[in-house]
Structure 1
Amino acid sequence: MTGVANEVRAWFDDETITVYQAYPAGIAEAALKAGTFVDPFKRARMTWIKPSFLWMMYRCGWGTKAGQERVLAIDITREGFEWSLSHSCLSHFDRTRFATKEEWQEEVRSSPVRVQWDPERDLALNPLPHRAIQIGLSGTAVDRYVEDWIGDIRDVTPLAHEVHATVRAGDLDAAAALLPAERVYPLPGVLVERVAK
C-alpha cells in the first residue's frame, strides 16, 4: 500500500505483528498475568486493535483517559492478522464497492471484523495526510484472537508516559527515537483490495 493515503504501518517481523489496546488496570493486569485476555475482559464486546502506536496514543491520551490507563502491546501472528482482514468489512458505506446501503449492511452483519481508517497522528497528535487502520474484532474473530493469535502481551504504559513527557519537554527528536520502528506492512494484493477505503 506504499504511496497511497491509507497504509498499514506497524512493527512486525517474519512471524508476528504488534497491535495496541488500552484498558483499565483490572483487564490489563489479568491479561498480563495470563498471557491473553481473560475475565474481566468480555469476549461478547467488539474489541479494537490498532497497529499504530501514535494512533493508540491519540485514542487513549497517552494512557491518561479514564478506562484506558494501561497501554498494552500485543504480538499476534501475521496469519491471524491477515485472517482478520480477509474476513472484514469496512465500517462505513462506500458506494464504489456496494450497489446499495442494504448490500453493505448485510456484509456488516455477516462479517466478524470491521475495518476503519482514521488520520494517522504525529508526536503532537496532530492529524497526518495518510490514515491508520483500526480493526474491530467480534464473534469468532475475538475467539481466534484470544485463543490462537496472541503470542505475547507487554505493558507499554511507561513508554507512553516517557514519550509524552519528552514531547512536552520539546525534544521531538528524542521522543521520535523512543517510538517503535513501524514500517509499511506488505499486505497481499487481495487484502489491499478488501480493506481499501
Structure 2
Amino acid sequence: MKEFEIRADYKNDTLIVYQAYNKAIAQSAMEHQKFTAPFSFNRMTWIKPSFLWMMERSNYGQKSNQECTLAIHIKREAWEKALSKAILTSPEKRVYPDPRSWGKDFENAEIYVQWDPERNIKGTKLNYRSIQVGISRSLIEEFNEEWIVKIEDYTPLVKKILNLTKSGEFDKAKKLLPVEKNYPLSKELAHRIGATM
C-alpha cells in the first residue's frame, strides 16, 4: 500500500462514503434518502470512504451519537469535483512549497482533506493513511441534494462484525468487510490532495 492513496468501495458512477449518527438522524436519512432535521446544515460534515477508519472513529457504533453507520452512495463526478476544490488541513511541503499560499487557500476553502493512519480490524494503526473529506457549510446543501444517490443502513453489519471480533473470530469478521480498492486519480487531483502516485 502507498502511504497516501484513496481506497474505496466504488462502481462506475458511484462510491460509498461512511458517516455515523444517532438513531433520529439515521432513521430520517433512511426514510427520505437524504438528510433532514435533526441533521444540522450549519456545521461542517466529514465523509470517509474507509469502513475501518469509520469503525475506529465510532468504536463500532458504541460511541454516543454515533450508534448508526450509514453507507452513503455518492456520484463519482461529485466526489472528484469536491477533491478538485480541496485544501489540506495542514501545510504539507510536498503540496504547498509556500505555506503562506496555503494559509490564504485554507481560510477560503469549501472542501478540506485530512489523511489519518488507516486501521486494521483490531483497531491497530497501519503504516499507510486513509482520507477523510470535510464539506463546509456552503456546500452541505449541494452534497445533500445533488451528490447523494442512495443511503444504506450498515448498522446491522457493524454489529455483526463487532460481535465476531469480540469473540476473537477475526477471519470471519474480515469476510464481512466491504471490499475497498485503490481509487484512480488524475495527476492533478493526486497532487492537489497530496496523494501518492
TM-score (norm 2): 0.94
3-state SS of 2:127 partner: strand
Q: Which amino acid aligns with 1:188?
A: S
137-146 or 70-79: bigger deviation: 137-146
Residue equivalent to 1:82 = 80
Q: C-alpha distance in 2, partners of 1:96/1:128?
A: 21
Per the TM alignment, residue 4 of structure 1 is displaced from its structure 2 partner at its CA by 2.1
Question: Of residues 83, 108, 112 in structure 2, which corresponds to 1:114?
Answer: 112
Residue equivalent to 2:186 = 188
Q: C-alpha distance in 2, partners of 1:99/1:176?
A: 41
Q: C-alpha distance in 2, partners of 1:74/1:64?
A: 20
Q: C-alpha distance in 1, partners of 2:152/2:188?
A: 31
Q: C-alpha distance in 2, partners of 1:139/1:60?
A: 22
Question: Of residues 92, 95, 98 in structure 1, which corresponds to 2:93?
Answer: 95
Question: Of residues 4, 9, 12 in structure 2, which corresponds to 1:11?
Answer: 9
Given the superposition, is the C-alpha separation of residues 5 and 11 from structure 1 closer, same or farther in structure 2, using an over 3 Å criterion? same
How many pairs align?
A: 195
Per the TM alignment, residue 99 of structure 1 is displaced from its structure 2 partner at its CA by 4.8
Check conservation: 2:118, 2:127, Cα contact below 8 A.
Answer: yes
Q: Which amino acid aligns with 2:152?
A: R
Question: Of residues 11, 14, 31 in structure 2, which corresponds to 1:33?
Answer: 31
102-111 or 58-67: bigger deviation: 102-111
Residue equivalent to 1:179 = 177
Structure 2 unaligned blocks of 5 or more: none
3-state SS of 2:184 partner: coil
Check conservation: 1:84, 1:141, Cα contact below 8 A.
Answer: no
Residue equivalent to 2:103 = 105
Residue equivalent to 1:70 = 68
Per the TM alignment, residue 24 of structure 1 is displaced from its structure 2 partner at its CA by 1.1
Check conservation: 1:63, 1:70, Cα contact below 8 A.
Answer: yes
Determine what percentage of the aligned residue pairs are the same residue: 39
Q: CA RMSD in A?
A: 1.3
3-state SS of 1:191 partner: helix
* Cα displacement string for residues 108-162 of structure 1 (whole angstroms, at most 9, x for unaligned residues): 1222000000011001011111100000001333122101010110111111111
Per the TM alignment, residue 40 of structure 1 is displaced from its structure 2 partner at its CA by 1.2
The answer to whether structure 1 residue 146 and structure 2 residue 138 are counterparts is no
Check conservation: 1:11, 1:180, Cα contact below 8 A.
Answer: yes
3-state SS of 1:85 partner: helix
3-state SS of 1:84 partner: helix
* Cα displacement string for residues 29-74 of structure 1 (whole angstroms, at most 9, x for unaligned residues): 1111110111111122000000000000000000010111111000
Q: C-alpha distance in 2, partners of 1:146/1:132?
A: 23
3-state SS of 1:20 partner: strand
